[in-house]
Structure 1
């Protein structure tokens, strides 16, 4: 006979009306009820934890896709950007006559970095270059002075700019790493995962290496030279007005990751002022040294600028450090190339898209450049462009600094390149 005090439902759905009913239930039924109660409690706790995590993340400016950094200019999103279908930008900075000037243009902050279909191959090449050339590619001079700038730039790019600007290439994750909760940036192209924020134990050189493995861009970090004598009793405070003497300060290269040097060894420039860095450049001291120093000293936070340069190289190496590569210095013996020696498969117009901006907190300067190699055949195929470049080769000798023709090794490749372009 059925118990009239029980609903006629399967055992695990029974509803108990009295303590005696509960005592009459099987152990299996009791266990099911206990499991359901525990599951509900677990779900309740999990929901509270998720909400707490989201609240804490929002407090730090994390919006799942990127980390907010209000001190930097707003980055315009590109949700539909497809790097594999994007051609490299076409730089054509040559002119009929070469005049040595800064030739700066304003840069939209969102366009600080450029991505294109060469990204995967170029990142692989950068990784190999760093492994092969060591401190000639990545180095730090005074870590105490420059580390804040490197950290600031690293965290902005890895945690904010990349996942926001190129969401199909980079994705931000919150996870456990090293000393606790942190953010990790996943490179959706290469599969690499790196921290998006920096722990105190991470060496500055590792941050530079990570930038070099993530971005097809070379970065040089400069900082105003420190006063030789400083009275601690007169230290500056946020309320003080800017010191006019800051306009006269010289900037020193304190750190770099440079995988694509052209005609110079970055290791030889480390720790030097701008004027010393540019010593081999003809006309630099006489024409633009003073204006360069003043511009660097007075560049305001939030102002981004860009420029481009060009030269011809007769090899296919992006890493071209040192003498005898892309530059010739006073006293070097060079020989003119015969027409038949010009290897069209290895002759390129080499351009750098250079940018400069000041970091908002550390006040360090970031000079960066991305290198493009345009095949000489590609230049000739464009109507009229071959003749324009041929005129620009002659124009190296006809502008404000005629020695630039020798410096760019035009004495070696100039006649052969012009003849091909005009053929």
Structure 2
């Protein structure tokens, strides 16, 4: 195994709605995902996050697992509807994160807090410009309580998904299918990030971050330029340069007269990168395009090469290496952290173990790709595996398992997979000094 630089951070990540459960306890209000998952036909087999992994009650057990694995850091998200159900402050909801952070610190695990990982309070909507200001108010409340113990703060997780899967294809909550709504939501999410980052900066946050899911494109420039713009530059440029790229600004104008000049800006300290796969593209006049990429008619998404993951995603470790180098080249001086990378496989329990060799091979390849990027000049500070636990995989329900730790959804028993034991050894060989 290659050796990573001193101080390199190893960890894992989760999200509140995917693991916490306890959706009606201690004053928590409904989120758009509560509404969506309880709507027939929206989530596979009618699964919901009502119980999930019951992390709300079992967080001490889960943090003990993290300690056993030797994790340096744990990225979790705060549930907005726990903290401000119906717009009213709920101290009991925030108390949970107090307990979680204290438990992490007691076991020498650095907490990384994500303020928004898709569980928007049900009464709010990203099409409404006021939601960005409400996010800033929520940010101030959470940081005021936890900022003395949490150094790294992430405003949003994957705003592309929130906008284009939530409001474009409608496969995610709130289930809207409207290109104009998708671009409107994207703009307001970017405003929310900047306003939240300003609040964090004013409050003395140690590190301010945002996490973007980024998808390298492969194919002729005539088809990749637009998709790269919609998937990547639409968010990279405003976050890191303070403005939309000219070609994407013109493309948005084809769908909406939304004003784009009211975009505030606040520099970040580290960019969170979520990477899973690439997009292979080709020109095809007969293709209707992709509903999550408005205006992509005439572009075809090609099938994956080789054996994909259970999500149907091609396994391309070199894509991560090139992505990190591309960001370093196009946005110089940007420190990076991989905030999600992992794979879903059809795990099977055998003799009390989960021999998930496919996942080990996946992670090994991507770790090596990340190391190559560092050797070639990328300022990569850490690597957080997705995910610590098997969990509620959004519209796929409980059918796709990404976890290092298997969760039996009936007994809720935790069982570290072989990949977890392997990861422990990787971390031990690359200690944090």
Q: Give me the TM-score of the superposition, normalised by structure 1.
A: 0.25
